[in-house]
Amino acid sequence: MNIIVTVQDAVTAFADFVEPTAAELDAIEREMPVILADVDLLDAQIITLDRIPGELDCRRIRRARRRALAARVALLNRTAGAGQSGGAA
């Protein structure tokens, strides 16, 4: 007779390795402003899916697009600044 292994044993056998590391959590935390800005942009675009965008909708999308771009630039500036060492040459 074959022994049947429960699915829970197979899934939880690697549970310790599934958790994100501290470095991964820090990276997510650093990228959170970009993620939230992208969500706002998607929300503004989703609102206009079932209708013709009006002037207010266009402004909302432009504003959200600018915020998303600004968040990406700020993230790049922070990561580029962190990579540099020392002062002026």
Cα(14)–Cα(73) distance, integer angstroms: 38
Cα(17)–Cα(11) distance, integer angstroms: 11
Looking at residue 8, its pLDDT comes to: 60
- In DSSP notation, 38-55 reads HHHHHHHHHHTTTS---H
Q: In Å, what is the CA distance from 44 to each residue of 53, 55, 73?
A: 10, 13, 21
Looking at residue 57, its pLDDT comes to: 95
Checking if the pLDDT of 41 tops 90, the result is yes
Burial group, residue 71, by CB count within 10 angstroms (0-12, 13-18, 19+): buried
Residue 18 confidence class, pLDDT cut points 50, 70, 90: confident
- 47-73 mean pLDDT: 96
